[in-house]
Structures are given as structure tokens and as C-alpha cells.
Amino acid sequence: MNENRNVKIRVRHLSKVFGNHPKKALELRDKGMKRPEILEKTGQTLGLSHIDFDVYEGELLVIMGLSGSGKSTLIRCLNRLIEPSEGEIVIDGENIPELGDKALLECRRRHFSMVFQNFALFPHRTVQQNAEFGLEIRGVDKAERTETARNALKQVGLDGWEDAYPNQLSGGMQQRVGLARALANDASVLLMDEAFSALDPLIRGDMQQELLELQNRMQKTTVFITHDLDEALTIGDRIVLLKDGEIVQIGTPEEILTRPADDYVRRFIEGVDRSRILTAESAMRKVRSTVRDTDGPRTALRKMHEHSIDSIYVTRRDRTLVGLLEAESAEALIKQGKESIGEALTQDFRSVGPDEPMQNLFAMFSEKSFPIAVVDEQKRLLGVVVKGAVLAQLAQAAEGGNH
Amino acid sequence: MTFDIPRIPLGRWIEGGLDWLTTEYSMVTRGISRVTQTGIAWLNDLLMWLPEWALLAAIAALCWKLANIRLAIGAVAGLALIWNMGLWNPMIETLTLVVIATLVAVVIALPVGIAAALSERLYRSIMPVLDFMQTMPAFVYLIPAIPFFGIGSVSAIFATVIFSMPPAIRFTTLGIRQVPVELIEAADAYGATRSQKLFKVQLPLSLPTVMAGINQTIMLALSMVVIAAMIGADGLGSEVWRAIQRLRPGDGFEAGIAVVILAMLLDRLTQSLRKPRREKG
């Protein structure tokens, strides 16, 4: 993973006390008291305490915690829907808690789009008008915002529904409108507050995949709140684990699964050990598309476009795997006017047998992000494993283990 | 055992205050009186200048467009009965008073209601005043109206506005406060200013409730302009009043029925405005 990424939002020392005399509560906190004692002594709730983390440009950061952990408070502190009691939140050099009313409005308009758990669509506005809301608030002229909102709706698969009202749509579709409203706004950060929690599991899985695809395409900095480990592991580039208003661990899904910071995290991911009986085959996906070794670079590139992937496995007619072709190599071949893809193939990918234990797959992902090829003894390509699938499988195993 | 506690001269104080108001502000009251008088006369003349059948057709068309054909038929039948009973002109006079009183009440009530919804302090100070305005027997408002504006329609409008305004204020406040928090949060999250929030989210969403309040205001206004016949307001009320004085129950009931018809018509018509347009068709 790229280490020197730009920091988009820097959060330092962020705390939130619910009550009228936050100073007092914070003093007690500094003396080492915890939430229950402070509540008993002052009647005030320490919602968040000493939160430090960075959000990198273009990453999907998941803030995960159970109810009462302060995750909703945290995301609302970022755009000051809730006033933080202390600390700094710096976005592009601006310290949000210090902004005046006007600057705050400006900052919200420029930097933050938000998607809500219960959609929070405006019932008196059509789908189109909902998607336009952020632009309308910013005073974008009618023609431009119609166009932008239409595109956003298309991106989330809602073209043709512009004139419907939210109450005519299913939950999943309503949340797509919520997402379109956020995308149309084109703010630099997308805040998603339990955005998929109100959806039924099937729709939820679809939405997660779509979000990942959108994220791949647009590289939008996203802060995603969830209480669901499965979801966090599936979509998060990194995860911030919150407990009782404090951060327990920050790390990639792999780090959290393999090196839990303490017993709390360990209990959380309990059952993941079952990964030993999970194999590559269980997380494997049938290859959506391959290229024959006799195909030309144009065919290969077209197939990659069709499936929005940036590398593709190349096989012989009997499906034995000969290599991997990256989109850039294919483009280079076309530029050079070459017709055969043979010489541009790379062997720089991992292939495993179908009964490879799942936990071994982690390590392989950390180097390169190509999907792992699953092959049989004759080196015939059976399928591929993508990172999200491994994590999802592990997470499901974890849930199964908690019963 | 009796205590000799001096009586608190509440009534005298109020009279003193009213006297002071009438003398100090006679310019203002006279001005209001003149403007209102002109408005009443103008609207009255307009409605009476129209031939009965034309107004009847116009009202029926309005009912059809805003509600349904049934209300239109009912309106035609009801108004035709009033016409037939020879109560057309008093009905127009009553309608004029109701329309003007309601307009004034709503123009005052909407901003006050909005302000009360947005400010907790104003809300808490205004609610007892509204309770007072609504529970004070309606007749009482008639008495100070006379020294302010003299006998007649303007006094009737004054008393009617005070009596009928509270529900419009209350419902406006209620409607705005009922807008779900998450929608307010969504508007805030996208950087809406207070007025953007008000005009794009809070007001449109509270519209059905506000309309319910206006409907109540119209009903109260109608009942009050009838009572206001006691201080010389024209219209169906004065027909009833005259029937009482002459002990002619038949005339009284006829005028009463005309009031009921007018009330039902206004009620159904404003209720049909409450339904958001998208639920139709």
C-alpha cells in the first residue's frame, strides 16, 4: 500500500462532552476517569475522548463500533452537525471547529456530502430535485444542476426515475437517491452514516459492491460509519475501531484480523480462526472474463472495459493459464501497432490451488492488488479471488462463530 | 369569618388602559378603520356587482378544480338555496368579512408562527397569550373594538382577527416543529442557510399542517363574524339577530342554514387545498 499519501482530514485530540459544562468533564477525564465515573460525578456524558486519526486522500475509511461507541457523534463532529468540545479537525488547512458561521457553511458546501442511515430524502421533492439539493443550496444555475444531478442518478442506476417521489421507491432505491444527492454535490469528502444499515442483507451486499466500484472509479475520500464488522472488512481500506468514545485500533482489515490490538478487538473478530478451514475455493469467483492467448490487445482492452477491470487473465483454449495482461500493457501494444499479446504478459501474480487455506491469501494481497488466480493441477484457471471476497468470507465465518 | 380584602380593580385598570389606547392612538385606529372600510366596500362591491349566476358558476368551477365534482354540485345546490331564500346579499357581506379577517389573521399569524417555531423563547412566551386569546369568550372582544373602531364592520373584523388567529399561529409552529430532525440535519449537512432551510425544507413540509390551521381560522372567523352582528356587522349574522329581536324563528333558521352552507363550503374547499398535489391523480 502506498505509504506517503496526502492527508485529507487530520483529526487531533477530538473530544465531545454532552452537557452544559464540558470543561469540568474534560478535567476529570484528564485525571484518568472513565465515562461512567464522569457521568456519575458531573451528570455529563463523555461522548468522544482524545480521538486522533487521519483520513487519506481517496481512501475509504470505515469507522466501526457498536452502538454507544460514539461513531455517529464522531462523523457529525467532522462537519459540525455536532459541536466538538475540544480538539482540531483540519481539512485542507482549515480548522473546522474554529470556523465562523459563514465559513462553516462554505466549508460544508465545499467539502462534505452526507448520506444518512434513514436516507433523509425530502419527501416533497422528486428524485431529481433531491439529487439537485446540494447544488441548489450552493446557487448553481438550473441548467448545470439538472445536468449534474442527472449524471449522478445515472451513476447509481436510477435513470428514468427522475420524476418519481421518494415514497414511491424501495429502500434500496431511496438510498441510491441519497447517494446520488451526495455524488452530484461533488464535495471533496463523502460522509456515510450507517448508510446501508437500514437495507435488507441482499440489497446491502449489492450496494457495498457498487460503492466499491464507484470508489475505484472516482477515488473519492469517504468516511463510512458502520456497526457491522462484515461491512467494515468488506469495504474499508482502513478501519478505525471505536469503543466507549475512544479509539481501540486503527488499521487495514488484514491488520485488524491478524493483529488485534487488545482483547476487545479479539473478541470482536472471534471465530475468524475458522479461516483455517476456509479455502480459496470458498472465496473464489468464476472468472467473469478471460482473453485467449491468440486474441489481440484491442479485444483484451475491450473486455477489460466491459467488466471495468484493469487487468485480465490470459488462457489457452483448454483454459490453462498463461499469464496476466494489464490494461497499460495492452494500450502500449496498440500504440506500437502489435497484434499479439504474448510478449506483454506478466507472471507477476499469485496463483493457488482451490484448497489453499484462506489465511494464506492475506499476505499475497498486501504486495500487489491483482486478483489471485485459482488453478487446478493442470494449471487450468478455475476462478479468481479478490480481496473483498476473502474479507467477507472471514467476516461471515466470524459471525457464524459468535452464535 | 370574613376578611376585608380590597377588591383588585382589574376591570378598572383594563378600562383605563383601553381609554388611553383609544385617545393616544386614535390616529392609528382611524387609519386602520379607513383602510379596512375601503377594503370591505371594494370586495363587497365586486362580489355584488357580479350577477349571482356568474359568481355561482365561478365558485362551482373552483370547487371542481381544487376538489371534485361532488363538492361542485353541492356548492351549486347550497348557493342556489341561499339565493332562493333571498339571502344572497347578506351571504356576500358575511363572506367578505370572513375573507378579509382571514387574510389579516394569516398575514399576521404566519410570521409569528414561524418565529415561534424557530425560537424557543418566543414559543414559550407566546403560547399562554394564544391560550388567553382563544379561551376568552368571543363576545368580550367586541366591547373594546367599539371604542377603537366604532360600531360596524371594522370592529367586527378586529374582534374576528383576534379570535381566529391563534390556530393559524399554533398550526404553523406545530408544522415547522414537526419536520423530522434528520431532514433538518440533511439540510444543514449540505450547508443550507437558515432561510434556505426555512423555504426549501421547513415551510414546504409544514404546508399541510399550516393549511389545517388556516382552515380552523376560517371556521372561527365565520362563527365570529356572525356573532359580530351584535356590534353592527352586516351579513347573515344581522339577519339572525333581527329574527331574534322580532321572534321569527323561521327567518332565524333560514339565515342559520345559510351560515352552515357557507361554512361547509369554505371548510371543504380549504381542506382540499391541504392535500399535497402529488397524491392526486
Chain A neighbors of B189, CB-CB under 8 A: 79, 81, 108, 112-114, 191
* Least confident among A165-169, A269-273, B124-128: A269-273
What pLDDT score was predicted for residue A50? 92
Contact A351, A374 (CB under 8 A): yes
Question: Residues of chain B with pLDDT > 90: what percent?
Answer: 54
Within the 67-126 window of chain A, which residues sit less than 8 Å (CB to CB) from chain B?
79, 81, 105-109, 112-114, 116, 118, 120, 122-124
Across the interface, do B189 and A138 touch by the CB < 8 Å criterion? no
Contacts for B247 with CB less than 8 Å, ≥ 6 apart:
none
Residue in A106, A137, A191 nearest the CB of B192 = A137
Q: Taking phi first (over 0 means left), then psi (-120 to 50 degrees means alpha), and beta for anything else, what does residue A157 get? A: left
pLDDT at B78: 93
Determine the average pLDDT of the residues in B64-79: 90
- Per DSSP, the three-state class of B83 is helix
pLDDT at residue B278 in the model: 47
Question: What distance in Å separates the CA atoms of residue A216 and residue B165, rounded to the nearest whole number?
Answer: 58
First to last CA, chain A: 35
Contacts of A244 (CB under 8 A, 6+ apart): A34, A35, A68, A69, A70
How many CB atoms are located within 10 Å of the residue A123 CB?
14
- Binning pLDDT at 50, 70 and 90, where does residue A402 land? very low
Say yes or no to pLDDT of A403 above 70.
no
A169 Cβ contact partners less than 8 Å away, ≥ 6 residues apart:
A127, A161, A177
Instruction: Tell me if B82 is assigned to some domain.
Output: yes
Task: Report residue A336 as a C-alpha cell.
Answer: 506500437
DSSP summary character for residue B198: I
d(Cα B92, Cα B258) in Å, to the nearest integer?
11
B245 assigned to some structural domain: yes
**Res. A4: pLDDT tops 70:** no
Residue B268: inside a domain: yes
Identify whether the C-beta of residue A320 lies closer than 8 Å to the C-beta of residue A378: yes
Does any domain span residue B61? yes
Interface test with A, best of B176, B190, B199, B277 (most A CBs within 10 A): B190
CB contact under 8 Å between B189 and A112, yes or no, is yes
* Residue of A6 and B278 predicted with greater confidence: A6
Q: Would you list which residues of chain B are within 8 Å, Cβ to Cβ, of chain A? A: 180, 182-183, 185-193, 196, 200-201, 204-205, 207, 276, 278
Reference B117, options B165, B168, B155; nearest CA is B168
Total domain count, chain B: 1
Q: What is the 3-state secondary structure (H, E, C) of A195-234?
A: CCCCCCHHHHHHHHHHHHHHHHHHCCEEEEEECCHHHHHH
A291 with A314: CB under 8 angstroms? yes
Confidence check: pLDDT of A361 > 50: yes
B14 domain residue, yes or no: no
**CATH classification of the domain holding B196:** 1.10.3720.10
The string of pLDDT tens digits covering residues A299-350 is 888 888 887 788 888 888 888 888 888 888 888 888 888 888 878 888 888 8
Query: Is position B1 within any domain?
Result: no
Higher per-residue pLDDT: A228 or A238: A238
What is the mean pLDDT of the segment spanning B235-256?
91
CB atoms within 10 A of CB B134: 16
User: Does residue B19 fall inside a structural domain?
Assistant: no
Domains defined for chain A, CATH in brackets: 57-86+95-274 (3.40.50.300), 280-399 (3.10.580.10)
| Distance separating alpha carbons of residues B113 and A70, to the nearest angstrom | 36
- What is residue B147's predicted lDDT score, i.e. its pLDDT? 80
A44 close to A24: Cβ distance less than 8 angstroms: yes
Over residues B231-237, the mean pLDDT reads 88
| Alpha carbon of residue A248 to chain centroid | 20
Helix (H, G, I), strand (E, B) or coil at A250: strand
* pLDDT band of B74, cuts 50, 70, 90: very high
**Given this model, what pLDDT does residue B222 score?**
92
Distance CA(A69)–CA(A227), nearest Å, equals 9
Nearest CA in chain A to B201: A122
For residue B173, what are the domain limits?
A: 24-275
Structure confidence by residue, pLDDT tens digits, B146-185 = 888 888 888 889 889 999 999 999 999 999 999 999 999 9
Average pLDDT estimate for A188-214? 88
Q: Which chain B residues are Cβ-neighbours of A138 within 8 angstroms? A: 191
Residues in chain B: 281
Contact state of B191 with A105 under an 8 Å Cβ cutoff: yes
- Say whether A137 and B190 touch across the interface (CB within 8 A): yes
The mean pLDDT value for A205-211 works out to 87
pLDDT of residue A357: 72
In-domain check, residue B6: no
